[in-house]
Amino acid sequence: MIGTGMSGKATSIRDFERSDIDGVGRLFQKTFRGKSKLSSSLNACLEQSFFQHPWDEPGIRSKVAVDESGKIAGFIGVSPARLELDGRDITAAFAGSMMVDDPKVNPLVGARLLRAYLAGPQDISLTETANATALGMWQKLGHPLEPGYSFNWMKILRPVSTGLQLAERSVPAMRLVRPLGRIADRAVAFVRRPQRYGTEGRKLEFRDVRREEFGAAMLVLKDAYPMRPRWDAGSLEWFLREAEQKQSFGYPEWRVAYGPEGRPVAAYAYFAKVGGIAWVLQAVSVAARTGELVEDLFAHAEAYGCASVRGAAHPWLIPALMQRRAIFLGRAFYVAHAKDKSLLEPVKAGQALISGLAGESWMRLIGDRFDD
Protein backbone atom coordinates (compact mmCIF):
# COMPACT_ATOMS: atom_id res chain seq x y z
CA MET A 1 0.00 0.00 0.00
CA ILE A 2 1.10 3.54 -0.61
CA GLY A 3 -0.50 6.79 0.44
CA THR A 4 0.08 10.50 0.82
CA GLY A 5 0.50 12.96 3.65
CA MET A 6 2.48 16.15 4.44
CA SER A 7 6.19 16.31 5.27
CA GLY A 8 9.55 17.87 4.48
CA LYS A 9 12.03 16.41 2.04
CA ALA A 10 13.34 12.98 3.03
CA THR A 11 17.13 12.63 3.24
CA SER A 12 17.84 9.09 4.43
CA ILE A 13 16.49 5.52 4.55
CA ARG A 14 17.19 3.32 7.57
CA ASP A 15 15.79 0.42 9.60
CA PHE A 16 12.55 0.96 11.53
CA GLU A 17 13.23 1.24 15.28
CA ARG A 18 10.95 1.12 18.30
CA SER A 19 11.52 4.83 18.86
CA ASP A 20 9.91 5.45 15.43
CA ILE A 21 6.55 3.91 16.36
CA ASP A 22 4.84 7.21 17.21
CA GLY A 23 6.02 8.81 13.97
CA VAL A 24 4.98 5.84 11.84
CA GLY A 25 1.64 5.69 13.68
CA ARG A 26 0.95 9.35 12.93
CA LEU A 27 1.84 8.89 9.27
CA PHE A 28 -0.38 5.80 9.04
CA GLN A 29 -3.34 7.63 10.59
CA LYS A 30 -2.98 10.58 8.22
CA THR A 31 -2.34 8.48 5.16
CA PHE A 32 -4.85 5.66 5.47
CA ARG A 33 -7.41 6.90 7.98
CA GLY A 34 -7.49 10.66 7.39
CA LYS A 35 -6.84 11.35 11.07
CA SER A 36 -4.21 13.27 13.00
CA LYS A 37 -4.73 11.71 16.43
CA LEU A 38 -2.31 9.08 17.71
CA SER A 39 -3.85 5.68 18.48
CA SER A 40 -2.53 3.55 21.33
CA SER A 41 -4.02 0.42 19.76
CA LEU A 42 -2.28 1.21 16.46
CA ASN A 43 1.04 1.72 18.25
CA ALA A 44 0.56 -1.60 20.04
CA CYS A 45 -0.17 -3.23 16.68
CA LEU A 46 3.03 -1.82 15.18
CA GLU A 47 5.02 -3.09 18.16
CA GLN A 48 3.44 -6.55 17.98
CA SER A 49 3.63 -6.98 14.20
CA PHE A 50 7.18 -5.76 13.63
CA PHE A 51 9.06 -6.25 16.90
CA GLN A 52 7.47 -9.38 18.39
CA HIS A 53 7.19 -11.44 15.20
CA PRO A 54 7.95 -15.14 15.86
CA TRP A 55 10.12 -15.40 12.72
CA ASP A 56 12.56 -12.62 13.42
CA GLU A 57 15.38 -12.69 10.87
CA PRO A 58 18.58 -10.61 11.13
CA GLY A 59 18.75 -8.09 8.33
CA ILE A 60 15.05 -8.25 7.41
CA ARG A 61 13.58 -5.05 8.82
CA SER A 62 10.92 -2.52 7.97
CA LYS A 63 12.34 0.72 6.59
CA VAL A 64 11.67 4.38 7.34
CA ALA A 65 12.52 7.52 5.40
CA VAL A 66 13.68 10.35 7.67
CA ASP A 67 13.79 14.00 6.63
CA GLU A 68 16.42 16.57 7.57
CA SER A 69 14.63 17.41 10.82
CA GLY A 70 14.44 13.76 11.91
CA LYS A 71 10.74 13.44 11.12
CA ILE A 72 9.37 10.20 9.62
CA ALA A 73 8.63 10.96 5.97
CA GLY A 74 7.99 7.45 4.69
CA PHE A 75 7.61 3.82 5.72
CA ILE A 76 7.49 0.33 4.24
CA GLY A 77 6.44 -2.51 6.51
CA VAL A 78 8.51 -5.69 6.07
CA SER A 79 7.59 -9.04 7.62
CA PRO A 80 9.93 -12.05 7.56
CA ALA A 81 8.61 -15.47 6.56
CA ARG A 82 10.05 -18.96 6.59
CA LEU A 83 9.12 -21.15 3.63
CA GLU A 84 10.14 -24.55 2.32
CA LEU A 85 10.30 -26.01 -1.18
CA ASP A 86 11.34 -29.59 -1.95
CA GLY A 87 13.09 -29.87 1.40
CA ARG A 88 14.91 -26.56 0.99
CA ASP A 89 14.54 -23.86 3.62
CA ILE A 90 13.76 -20.45 2.11
CA THR A 91 13.84 -17.05 3.78
CA ALA A 92 11.15 -14.69 2.50
CA ALA A 93 10.16 -11.11 3.20
CA PHE A 94 6.71 -9.60 2.65
CA ALA A 95 6.38 -5.87 2.00
CA GLY A 96 3.24 -3.88 2.69
CA SER A 97 1.83 -0.71 4.25
CA MET A 98 4.00 1.58 2.13
CA MET A 99 3.33 5.26 2.77
CA VAL A 100 5.07 8.49 1.84
CA ASP A 101 4.56 12.03 3.08
CA ASP A 102 3.81 14.35 0.18
CA PRO A 103 5.15 12.30 -2.76
CA LYS A 104 4.84 15.37 -5.00
CA VAL A 105 7.59 17.01 -2.93
CA ASN A 106 9.49 13.74 -2.40
CA PRO A 107 8.72 11.76 -5.58
CA LEU A 108 11.58 9.26 -5.15
CA VAL A 109 11.00 8.25 -1.53
CA GLY A 110 8.66 5.36 -2.34
CA ALA A 111 11.06 3.90 -4.88
CA ARG A 112 13.97 4.28 -2.44
CA LEU A 113 12.05 2.47 0.29
CA LEU A 114 11.18 -0.34 -2.12
CA ARG A 115 14.79 -0.68 -3.27
CA ALA A 116 16.01 -0.78 0.34
CA TYR A 117 13.58 -3.63 1.05
CA LEU A 118 14.59 -5.55 -2.10
CA ALA A 119 18.25 -5.21 -1.14
CA GLY A 120 17.67 -7.30 2.00
CA PRO A 121 19.11 -10.80 2.56
CA GLN A 122 15.86 -12.68 1.80
CA ASP A 123 15.77 -15.40 -0.87
CA ILE A 124 12.41 -14.23 -2.19
CA SER A 125 10.60 -10.88 -1.91
CA LEU A 126 6.80 -10.83 -1.92
CA THR A 127 3.81 -8.56 -1.51
CA GLU A 128 0.12 -9.44 -1.67
CA THR A 129 -1.26 -5.95 -0.97
CA ALA A 130 0.23 -3.67 -3.63
CA ASN A 131 -2.21 -1.02 -4.84
CA ALA A 132 -1.98 0.49 -8.32
CA THR A 133 0.64 3.06 -7.27
CA ALA A 134 2.87 0.56 -5.48
CA LEU A 135 2.45 -1.90 -8.36
CA GLY A 136 3.75 0.74 -10.74
CA MET A 137 6.92 1.03 -8.65
CA TRP A 138 7.47 -2.74 -8.73
CA GLN A 139 6.91 -2.80 -12.48
CA LYS A 140 9.40 0.01 -13.09
CA LEU A 141 11.96 -2.17 -11.33
CA GLY A 142 11.11 -5.02 -13.70
CA HIS A 143 8.85 -7.09 -11.43
CA PRO A 144 5.37 -7.76 -12.92
CA LEU A 145 2.32 -8.84 -10.95
CA GLU A 146 1.47 -12.52 -10.52
CA PRO A 147 -2.02 -12.90 -12.07
CA GLY A 148 -3.08 -16.03 -10.19
CA TYR A 149 -2.47 -14.42 -6.81
CA SER A 150 -3.75 -10.98 -7.80
CA PHE A 151 -7.36 -12.00 -8.34
CA ASN A 152 -9.80 -10.44 -5.91
CA TRP A 153 -13.27 -11.93 -5.96
CA MET A 154 -16.75 -11.44 -4.57
CA LYS A 155 -19.79 -13.68 -4.44
CA ILE A 156 -22.99 -11.69 -4.06
CA LEU A 157 -25.59 -13.42 -1.91
CA ARG A 158 -27.93 -10.49 -1.21
CA PRO A 159 -27.55 -7.88 -3.98
CA VAL A 160 -29.34 -4.89 -2.43
CA SER A 161 -27.55 -5.23 0.92
CA THR A 162 -24.24 -5.62 -0.90
CA GLY A 163 -24.86 -2.43 -2.86
CA LEU A 164 -25.68 -0.53 0.31
CA GLN A 165 -22.55 -1.83 2.03
CA LEU A 166 -20.41 -0.60 -0.84
CA ALA A 167 -22.19 2.76 -0.89
CA GLU A 168 -21.52 3.25 2.84
CA ARG A 169 -17.80 3.57 2.11
CA SER A 170 -18.49 6.87 0.37
CA VAL A 171 -21.70 7.90 2.16
CA PRO A 172 -21.66 6.64 5.80
CA ALA A 173 -25.29 7.76 6.30
CA MET A 174 -26.37 4.91 4.01
CA ARG A 175 -26.16 2.60 7.01
CA LEU A 176 -29.50 4.06 8.12
CA VAL A 177 -31.28 2.29 5.27
CA ARG A 178 -29.85 -1.17 5.93
CA PRO A 179 -33.24 -2.51 7.11
CA LEU A 180 -34.76 -1.46 3.79
CA GLY A 181 -32.00 -3.36 2.02
CA ARG A 182 -32.89 -6.56 3.86
CA ILE A 183 -36.54 -6.14 2.93
CA ALA A 184 -35.62 -5.51 -0.70
CA ASP A 185 -33.40 -8.60 -0.77
CA ARG A 186 -36.27 -10.77 0.43
CA ALA A 187 -38.38 -9.42 -2.41
CA VAL A 188 -35.57 -10.04 -4.90
CA ALA A 189 -35.16 -13.59 -3.62
CA PHE A 190 -38.89 -14.25 -4.02
CA VAL A 191 -38.87 -13.07 -7.64
CA ARG A 192 -35.46 -14.31 -8.76
CA ARG A 193 -35.26 -17.61 -6.86
CA PRO A 194 -31.48 -17.34 -6.27
CA GLN A 195 -29.19 -20.34 -6.16
CA ARG A 196 -29.12 -22.02 -2.78
CA TYR A 197 -26.06 -23.64 -1.32
CA GLY A 198 -26.97 -26.63 0.77
CA THR A 199 -25.47 -30.00 1.76
CA GLU A 200 -27.25 -32.07 -0.87
CA GLY A 201 -24.77 -33.69 -3.25
CA ARG A 202 -21.77 -32.92 -1.06
CA LYS A 203 -19.82 -35.80 0.42
CA LEU A 204 -17.82 -33.72 2.87
CA GLU A 205 -19.25 -32.52 6.15
CA PHE A 206 -17.69 -29.30 7.42
CA ARG A 207 -18.00 -28.36 11.05
CA ASP A 208 -17.36 -25.31 13.17
CA VAL A 209 -14.18 -25.69 15.20
CA ARG A 210 -12.14 -23.66 17.62
CA ARG A 211 -9.15 -21.66 16.47
CA GLU A 212 -6.75 -24.27 17.85
CA GLU A 213 -8.34 -27.12 15.87
CA PHE A 214 -8.28 -25.03 12.72
CA GLY A 215 -4.55 -24.47 13.28
CA ALA A 216 -3.95 -28.20 13.70
CA ALA A 217 -5.73 -28.81 10.39
CA MET A 218 -3.62 -26.16 8.65
CA LEU A 219 -0.42 -27.86 9.80
CA VAL A 220 -1.57 -30.95 7.87
CA LEU A 221 -3.11 -29.25 4.83
CA LYS A 222 -0.13 -26.98 4.11
CA ASP A 223 1.74 -30.06 2.87
CA ALA A 224 -0.59 -30.19 -0.16
CA TYR A 225 1.35 -27.22 -1.58
CA PRO A 226 4.93 -27.63 -2.90
CA MET A 227 5.96 -24.20 -1.55
CA ARG A 228 4.58 -23.64 1.93
CA PRO A 229 5.29 -21.94 5.25
CA ARG A 230 7.46 -23.67 7.82
CA TRP A 231 4.83 -23.31 10.52
CA ASP A 232 5.00 -25.16 13.79
CA ALA A 233 2.22 -25.15 16.37
CA GLY A 234 3.64 -22.13 18.21
CA SER A 235 4.29 -19.85 15.24
CA LEU A 236 0.97 -20.66 13.56
CA GLU A 237 -0.91 -19.96 16.79
CA TRP A 238 0.73 -16.51 16.86
CA PHE A 239 -0.51 -15.71 13.35
CA LEU A 240 -3.99 -17.01 14.17
CA ARG A 241 -4.23 -14.88 17.33
CA GLU A 242 -3.13 -11.80 15.39
CA ALA A 243 -5.68 -12.45 12.64
CA GLU A 244 -8.49 -13.10 15.11
CA GLN A 245 -8.19 -9.53 16.38
CA LYS A 246 -9.29 -8.10 13.02
CA GLN A 247 -12.91 -8.05 14.13
CA SER A 248 -13.82 -4.88 12.26
CA PHE A 249 -14.40 -7.40 9.44
CA GLY A 250 -16.86 -9.35 11.59
CA TYR A 251 -16.73 -12.47 13.75
CA PRO A 252 -14.10 -15.13 12.85
CA GLU A 253 -15.52 -18.45 11.73
CA TRP A 254 -13.25 -21.51 11.59
CA ARG A 255 -14.45 -24.49 9.49
CA VAL A 256 -12.78 -27.87 8.86
CA ALA A 257 -13.80 -31.03 6.96
CA TYR A 258 -12.27 -34.43 7.61
CA GLY A 259 -11.89 -37.46 5.34
CA PRO A 260 -12.82 -41.08 6.12
CA GLU A 261 -9.51 -41.69 7.88
CA GLY A 262 -9.97 -38.68 10.15
CA ARG A 263 -7.41 -36.48 8.38
CA PRO A 264 -8.40 -32.92 7.48
CA VAL A 265 -9.02 -32.52 3.75
CA ALA A 266 -10.31 -28.92 3.63
CA ALA A 267 -10.45 -25.88 5.89
CA TYR A 268 -11.33 -22.23 5.66
CA ALA A 269 -11.55 -19.21 7.93
CA TYR A 270 -13.59 -16.11 7.27
CA PHE A 271 -15.00 -13.12 9.11
CA ALA A 272 -18.80 -13.03 9.08
CA LYS A 273 -21.10 -10.10 9.71
CA VAL A 274 -24.91 -10.14 9.49
CA GLY A 275 -25.89 -7.91 6.58
CA GLY A 276 -22.23 -7.21 5.84
CA ILE A 277 -19.59 -8.33 3.38
CA ALA A 278 -17.78 -11.40 4.71
CA TRP A 279 -14.01 -11.60 4.21
CA VAL A 280 -12.07 -14.82 3.66
CA LEU A 281 -8.76 -15.03 5.49
CA GLN A 282 -7.65 -18.46 4.28
CA ALA A 283 -9.07 -21.41 2.34
CA VAL A 284 -7.08 -24.59 1.65
CA SER A 285 -7.94 -28.12 0.59
CA VAL A 286 -6.69 -31.17 -1.18
CA ALA A 287 -7.25 -30.70 -4.91
CA ALA A 288 -10.37 -32.85 -5.27
CA ARG A 289 -12.26 -31.01 -2.52
CA THR A 290 -12.03 -27.37 -3.57
CA GLY A 291 -15.54 -27.23 -5.06
CA GLU A 292 -17.08 -28.59 -1.88
CA LEU A 293 -15.13 -26.08 0.19
CA VAL A 294 -16.51 -23.18 -1.87
CA GLU A 295 -20.03 -24.60 -1.67
CA ASP A 296 -19.85 -24.86 2.12
CA LEU A 297 -18.37 -21.36 2.42
CA PHE A 298 -21.23 -19.83 0.42
CA ALA A 299 -23.86 -21.88 2.28
CA HIS A 300 -22.46 -20.93 5.68
CA ALA A 301 -22.18 -17.23 4.83
CA GLU A 302 -25.71 -17.19 3.39
CA ALA A 303 -27.17 -18.91 6.47
CA TYR A 304 -25.26 -16.47 8.71
CA GLY A 305 -26.97 -13.57 6.96
CA CYS A 306 -23.99 -12.11 5.07
CA ALA A 307 -24.71 -9.86 2.10
CA SER A 308 -21.79 -11.30 0.12
CA VAL A 309 -18.40 -12.98 0.48
CA ARG A 310 -15.08 -11.62 -0.75
CA GLY A 311 -11.52 -12.84 -0.77
CA ALA A 312 -8.15 -12.57 -2.45
CA ALA A 313 -5.01 -14.32 -3.57
CA HIS A 314 -5.96 -18.00 -3.41
CA PRO A 315 -5.37 -19.21 -6.99
CA TRP A 316 -6.44 -22.80 -6.29
CA LEU A 317 -9.97 -21.51 -5.66
CA ILE A 318 -10.36 -19.69 -8.97
CA PRO A 319 -11.90 -22.53 -11.06
CA ALA A 320 -14.45 -23.37 -8.38
CA LEU A 321 -15.31 -19.69 -7.92
CA MET A 322 -15.72 -19.16 -11.66
CA GLN A 323 -18.09 -22.12 -11.87
CA ARG A 324 -20.21 -20.58 -9.12
CA ARG A 325 -20.41 -17.13 -10.74
CA ALA A 326 -18.16 -15.16 -8.46
CA ILE A 327 -17.16 -11.69 -9.66
CA PHE A 328 -13.44 -11.03 -10.21
CA LEU A 329 -11.73 -7.65 -9.95
CA GLY A 330 -8.31 -6.09 -9.48
CA ARG A 331 -7.90 -4.41 -6.09
CA ALA A 332 -4.72 -5.65 -4.39
CA PHE A 333 -1.91 -7.05 -6.52
CA TYR A 334 0.62 -9.79 -5.84
CA VAL A 335 4.27 -9.44 -6.87
CA ALA A 336 7.16 -11.88 -6.35
CA HIS A 337 10.88 -11.40 -7.00
CA ALA A 338 13.83 -13.74 -6.51
CA LYS A 339 17.33 -13.87 -7.94
CA ASP A 340 16.98 -17.66 -8.12
CA LYS A 341 14.19 -17.91 -10.68
CA SER A 342 13.43 -21.52 -9.70
CA LEU A 343 11.82 -20.13 -6.55
CA LEU A 344 9.25 -18.36 -8.72
CA GLU A 345 8.11 -21.50 -10.54
CA PRO A 346 5.61 -22.70 -7.87
CA VAL A 347 4.31 -19.13 -7.58
CA LYS A 348 3.66 -18.86 -11.31
CA ALA A 349 2.04 -22.31 -11.24
CA GLY A 350 -0.26 -21.33 -8.37
CA GLN A 351 1.22 -24.07 -6.16
CA ALA A 352 2.60 -21.87 -3.40
CA LEU A 353 0.80 -21.30 -0.10
CA ILE A 354 2.01 -17.72 0.32
CA SER A 355 -1.10 -15.65 0.96
CA GLY A 356 -3.55 -15.02 3.79
CA LEU A 357 -2.19 -16.51 7.01
CA ALA A 358 0.82 -17.61 4.99
CA GLY A 359 1.30 -14.10 3.61
CA GLU A 360 0.63 -10.73 5.19
CA SER A 361 -3.18 -10.53 5.39
CA TRP A 362 -3.13 -11.69 9.01
CA MET A 363 -1.89 -8.21 9.97
CA ARG A 364 -4.32 -5.81 11.63
CA LEU A 365 -2.69 -2.97 9.69
CA ILE A 366 -4.46 -4.33 6.61
CA GLY A 367 -8.06 -3.22 6.92
CA ASP A 368 -8.59 -2.96 10.67
CA ARG A 369 -9.73 0.18 12.50
CA PHE A 370 -7.86 1.96 15.27
CA ASP A 371 -10.49 4.22 16.81
CA ASP A 372 -9.07 4.96 20.28
- If asked whether residues 225 and 285 sit together in one domain, one would say yes
> Does residue 231 sit within a domain?
yes
Does the global pTM surpass 0.75? yes
Structural domain span for residue 132: 10-148
> Does residue 336 sit within a domain?
no
> Does residue 295 sit within a domain?
yes
- If asked whether residues 39 and 104 sit together in one domain, one would say yes
The CATH number that applies at residue 27 is 3.40.630.30
Give how many domains the chain has, as a whole number: 2
> Does residue 353 sit within a domain?
no
> Does residue 241 sit within a domain?
yes
- If asked whether residues 255 and 323 sit together in one domain, one would say yes
pLDDT tens across the length of the chain (372 residues)? 444 444 445 479 999 999 999 999 999 998 888 777 888 999 999 999 999 999 999 899 999 999 888 899 999 999 999 999 999 999 999 998 899 987 777 778 999 999 999 999 999 999 999 988 899 999 999 999 999 999 899 999 998 877 777 776 666 666 666 666 665 666 666 556 556 555 555 678 999 999 999 999 999 999 999 999 999 999 999 999 999 998 888 999 999 999 988 999 999 999 999 999 999 999 999 999 999 999 999 999 999 999 999 998 789 999 999 999 999 988 789 999 999 999 999 999 999 999 999 999 999 998 888 877
> Does residue 348 sit within a domain?
no
> Does residue 59 sit within a domain?
yes
- The full 3-state SS of the chain, as one line of letters, equals CCCCCCCCCEEEEEECCHHHHHHHHHHHHHHHHCCCCCCHHHHHHHHHHHHCCCCCCCCCCCEEEEECCCCEEEEEEEEEEEEEECCEEEEEEEEEEEEECCCCCCCCHHHHHHHHHHCCCCCEEEEEEECHHHHHHHHHCCCCECHHHHCEEEEECCHHHHHHHHHHCCCHHHHHHHHHHHHHHHHHHHHHCCCCCCCCCCCCCEEECCHHHHHHHHHHHHHHCCEEECCCHHHHHHHHHHHHCCHHHCEEEEEEEECCCCCEEEEEEEEECCCCEEEEEEEEECHHHHHHHHHHHHHHHHHHCCCEEEEECCHHHHHHHHHCCCEEECCCEEEEECCCHHHHHHHHCCCECCCHHHCCCCCCCCCCCCCC
